Amino acid sequence: MFFAKYLEDFFSGKTTVKDRSGNTLTANDIDALYIITKHDGLPMRRILSIQKPKIIHFSITTLGNTKYEPGVMKWQDMIERVGNFIKQGLDPNMVTLRVDPIVPGITKINEVDALIKRASEFGIKNVRFSVMDYYRTTSIFMKNLGYDYEKHGYVKVPNTNGEFYTHAKPEVIKGISEKMLQIANKYGVKLSTCAEPGVMPGITK
Protein backbone atom coordinates (compact mmCIF):
# COMPACT_ATOMS: atom_id res chain seq x y z
CA MET A 1 0.00 0.00 0.00
CA PHE A 2 2.80 2.42 0.91
CA PHE A 3 4.64 1.65 -2.32
CA ALA A 4 1.54 2.27 -4.44
CA LYS A 5 0.81 5.58 -2.67
CA TYR A 6 4.46 6.60 -3.10
CA LEU A 7 4.29 5.93 -6.85
CA GLU A 8 0.97 7.72 -7.11
CA ASP A 9 2.41 10.82 -5.39
CA PHE A 10 5.55 10.72 -7.53
CA PHE A 11 3.73 10.52 -10.86
CA SER A 12 1.22 13.18 -9.84
CA GLY A 13 4.10 15.58 -9.13
CA LYS A 14 3.62 15.69 -5.35
CA THR A 15 7.12 14.38 -4.67
CA THR A 16 10.47 13.76 -6.34
CA VAL A 17 13.27 11.25 -5.88
CA LYS A 18 17.02 11.31 -6.37
CA ASP A 19 19.01 8.83 -8.41
CA ARG A 20 22.27 7.26 -7.22
CA SER A 21 24.23 10.27 -8.39
CA GLY A 22 22.06 12.65 -6.39
CA ASN A 23 20.19 14.05 -9.39
CA THR A 24 16.54 14.92 -8.83
CA LEU A 25 14.10 12.88 -10.90
CA THR A 26 10.53 13.74 -11.79
CA ALA A 27 7.79 11.74 -13.49
CA ASN A 28 8.95 13.07 -16.86
CA ASP A 29 12.26 11.23 -16.42
CA ILE A 30 10.56 7.82 -16.15
CA ASP A 31 9.71 5.97 -19.36
CA ALA A 32 7.91 2.94 -17.95
CA LEU A 33 7.11 0.93 -14.81
CA TYR A 34 8.41 -2.60 -14.25
CA ILE A 35 6.53 -4.28 -11.42
CA ILE A 36 6.59 -7.76 -9.85
CA THR A 37 3.69 -8.35 -7.49
CA LYS A 38 1.42 -10.83 -5.74
CA HIS A 39 -1.14 -8.11 -5.03
CA ASP A 40 -4.53 -7.73 -6.64
CA GLY A 41 -6.34 -5.02 -4.67
CA LEU A 42 -6.32 -1.25 -4.14
CA PRO A 43 -2.51 -0.80 -4.42
CA MET A 44 -2.57 -2.51 -7.82
CA ARG A 45 -5.50 -0.40 -9.01
CA ARG A 46 -3.59 2.71 -7.98
CA ILE A 47 -0.55 1.61 -9.95
CA LEU A 48 -2.64 0.78 -13.02
CA SER A 49 -4.10 4.30 -12.96
CA ILE A 50 -0.64 5.82 -13.51
CA GLN A 51 -0.34 7.04 -17.09
CA LYS A 52 2.92 5.32 -17.98
CA PRO A 53 3.65 2.13 -19.96
CA LYS A 54 3.73 -0.85 -17.61
CA ILE A 55 5.42 -4.23 -17.60
CA ILE A 56 3.82 -6.27 -14.84
CA HIS A 57 4.76 -9.71 -13.55
CA PHE A 58 2.01 -11.34 -11.48
CA SER A 59 3.46 -14.02 -9.22
CA ILE A 60 1.01 -16.91 -8.69
CA THR A 61 2.54 -20.09 -7.27
CA THR A 62 -0.74 -22.09 -6.94
CA LEU A 63 0.08 -22.43 -3.20
CA GLY A 64 -1.96 -19.45 -2.03
CA ASN A 65 -4.29 -20.06 0.92
CA THR A 66 -2.33 -23.16 1.94
CA LYS A 67 0.09 -23.57 4.84
CA TYR A 68 2.90 -22.64 2.45
CA GLU A 69 1.39 -19.24 1.53
CA PRO A 70 -1.28 -18.62 4.16
CA GLY A 71 -1.56 -14.88 3.51
CA VAL A 72 -2.09 -15.19 -0.24
CA MET A 73 -5.41 -15.74 -2.00
CA LYS A 74 -6.19 -18.92 -3.92
CA TRP A 75 -4.67 -19.04 -7.37
CA GLN A 76 -8.13 -19.47 -8.94
CA ASP A 77 -9.23 -16.13 -7.48
CA MET A 78 -5.96 -14.34 -8.23
CA ILE A 79 -5.89 -15.18 -11.93
CA GLU A 80 -9.48 -13.94 -12.24
CA ARG A 81 -8.41 -10.62 -10.69
CA VAL A 82 -5.59 -10.39 -13.22
CA GLY A 83 -8.11 -11.13 -15.96
CA ASN A 84 -10.30 -8.29 -14.70
CA PHE A 85 -7.34 -5.89 -14.93
CA ILE A 86 -6.87 -6.97 -18.55
CA LYS A 87 -10.58 -6.46 -19.27
CA GLN A 88 -10.22 -2.96 -17.82
CA GLY A 89 -7.44 -2.08 -20.25
CA LEU A 90 -4.18 -3.64 -19.06
CA ASP A 91 -2.32 -4.88 -22.16
CA PRO A 92 -1.90 -8.69 -21.81
CA ASN A 93 1.20 -8.49 -23.99
CA MET A 94 2.85 -6.54 -21.17
CA VAL A 95 1.88 -9.11 -18.54
CA THR A 96 3.96 -12.09 -17.44
CA LEU A 97 2.58 -14.86 -15.27
CA ARG A 98 5.23 -16.03 -12.80
CA VAL A 99 4.84 -19.53 -11.41
CA ASP A 100 7.63 -18.69 -9.06
CA PRO A 101 8.69 -20.76 -7.27
CA ILE A 102 7.65 -24.32 -8.05
CA VAL A 103 8.21 -26.44 -4.93
CA PRO A 104 9.28 -30.02 -5.81
CA GLY A 105 6.95 -32.54 -4.23
CA ILE A 106 4.41 -29.89 -3.23
CA THR A 107 3.36 -27.94 -6.33
CA LYS A 108 0.72 -29.86 -8.28
CA ILE A 109 1.45 -29.82 -12.00
CA ASN A 110 -2.25 -30.22 -12.87
CA GLU A 111 -2.98 -26.96 -11.03
CA VAL A 112 -0.14 -25.22 -12.86
CA ASP A 113 -1.65 -26.52 -16.12
CA ALA A 114 -5.07 -25.11 -15.20
CA LEU A 115 -3.52 -21.77 -14.17
CA ILE A 116 -1.62 -21.35 -17.42
CA LYS A 117 -4.68 -22.39 -19.42
CA ARG A 118 -6.76 -19.69 -17.74
CA ALA A 119 -4.01 -17.09 -18.19
CA SER A 120 -3.84 -17.89 -21.90
CA GLU A 121 -7.60 -17.37 -22.17
CA PHE A 122 -7.05 -13.80 -20.96
CA GLY A 123 -4.45 -13.29 -23.70
CA ILE A 124 -1.35 -13.68 -21.51
CA LYS A 125 1.46 -15.07 -23.65
CA ASN A 126 4.45 -14.93 -21.30
CA VAL A 127 5.04 -17.39 -18.44
CA ARG A 128 8.12 -17.52 -16.23
CA PHE A 129 8.93 -20.17 -13.66
CA SER A 130 11.60 -21.08 -11.15
CA VAL A 131 12.30 -24.01 -8.85
CA MET A 132 12.50 -23.14 -5.16
CA ASP A 133 15.99 -22.31 -3.96
CA TYR A 134 17.27 -22.73 -0.43
CA TYR A 135 17.42 -19.43 1.41
CA ARG A 136 17.95 -19.24 5.15
CA THR A 137 14.57 -17.76 6.03
CA THR A 138 12.79 -19.95 3.49
CA SER A 139 14.51 -23.09 4.72
CA ILE A 140 13.55 -22.42 8.34
CA PHE A 141 9.95 -21.83 7.33
CA MET A 142 9.79 -24.93 5.11
CA LYS A 143 11.53 -27.20 7.61
CA ASN A 144 9.08 -26.08 10.29
CA LEU A 145 6.35 -27.31 7.96
CA GLY A 146 8.09 -30.66 7.63
CA TYR A 147 9.56 -30.19 4.17
CA ASP A 148 12.39 -32.65 3.50
CA TYR A 149 14.85 -31.02 1.09
CA GLU A 150 16.91 -34.16 0.54
CA LYS A 151 13.85 -36.29 -0.13
CA HIS A 152 12.72 -33.89 -2.85
CA GLY A 153 16.03 -33.81 -4.69
CA TYR A 154 18.10 -30.99 -3.17
CA VAL A 155 21.88 -31.06 -2.82
CA LYS A 156 24.50 -28.69 -1.41
CA VAL A 157 26.44 -26.74 -4.02
CA PRO A 158 29.16 -24.08 -3.54
CA ASN A 159 28.43 -20.46 -4.25
CA THR A 160 30.82 -17.67 -5.22
CA ASN A 161 32.03 -16.87 -1.70
CA GLY A 162 32.96 -20.45 -0.86
CA GLU A 163 29.92 -21.18 1.24
CA PHE A 164 27.23 -23.66 0.34
CA TYR A 165 23.56 -23.40 -0.45
CA THR A 166 21.01 -26.02 -1.41
CA HIS A 167 19.68 -26.28 -4.93
CA ALA A 168 17.50 -28.83 -6.69
CA LYS A 169 19.43 -31.47 -8.61
CA PRO A 170 19.71 -30.93 -12.38
CA GLU A 171 17.48 -33.92 -13.06
CA VAL A 172 14.78 -32.43 -10.83
CA ILE A 173 14.93 -29.11 -12.70
CA LYS A 174 15.00 -30.92 -16.04
CA GLY A 175 11.93 -32.97 -15.15
CA ILE A 176 9.99 -29.88 -14.08
CA SER A 177 11.08 -27.92 -17.14
CA GLU A 178 9.92 -30.76 -19.42
CA LYS A 179 6.45 -30.64 -17.89
CA MET A 180 6.34 -26.85 -18.04
CA LEU A 181 7.36 -26.83 -21.70
CA GLN A 182 4.62 -29.34 -22.53
CA ILE A 183 2.06 -27.10 -20.85
CA ALA A 184 3.40 -23.97 -22.55
CA ASN A 185 3.26 -25.60 -25.97
CA LYS A 186 -0.27 -26.84 -25.32
CA TYR A 187 -1.55 -23.32 -24.65
CA GLY A 188 0.71 -21.41 -27.02
CA VAL A 189 2.61 -19.34 -24.45
CA LYS A 190 6.28 -18.38 -24.36
CA LEU A 191 8.15 -19.97 -21.46
CA SER A 192 11.16 -18.54 -19.65
CA THR A 193 12.94 -19.21 -16.37
CA CYS A 194 14.35 -17.10 -13.61
CA ALA A 195 18.02 -18.11 -14.07
CA GLU A 196 17.43 -21.86 -13.75
CA PRO A 197 20.27 -24.15 -14.89
CA GLY A 198 19.62 -27.35 -16.80
CA VAL A 199 16.34 -26.40 -18.48
CA MET A 200 15.12 -27.80 -21.78
CA PRO A 201 15.75 -26.30 -25.24
CA GLY A 202 12.86 -24.04 -26.11
CA ILE A 203 12.84 -22.32 -22.72
CA THR A 204 14.36 -18.85 -22.50
CA LYS A 205 16.69 -18.19 -19.56
pLDDT tier, 184 (very low <50, low <70, confident <90, very high otherwise): very high
Per-residue pLDDT tens over the stretch 21-37? 999 998 889 899 898 88
Q: Where are the domains of the chain?
A: 31-193
In the chain, which ranges are continuous DSSP H helix? 2-11, 42-48, 75-87, 109-121, 136-144, 170-187
Q: At residue 2, does pLDDT exceed 60?
A: no
Helix axis angle, 75-87 to 109-121, nearest 10°: 10
User: What's the pLDDT score for residue 164?
Assistant: 60
If pLDDT is split at 50, 70 and 90, which confidence band does 128 have?
Answer: very high
- Which one has a higher pLDDT value, 40 or 126? 126
More confidently predicted of 145 and 38: 145
Reduce the DSSP state of residue 61 to 3 states and report it: coil
pLDDT of residue 197: 66
CATH for the 31-193 domain, from 3.40.50.300, 3.40.50.2300, 3.80.30.30, 3.90.1150.10:
3.80.30.30
Q: Is the pLDDT of residue 17 over 90?
A: no
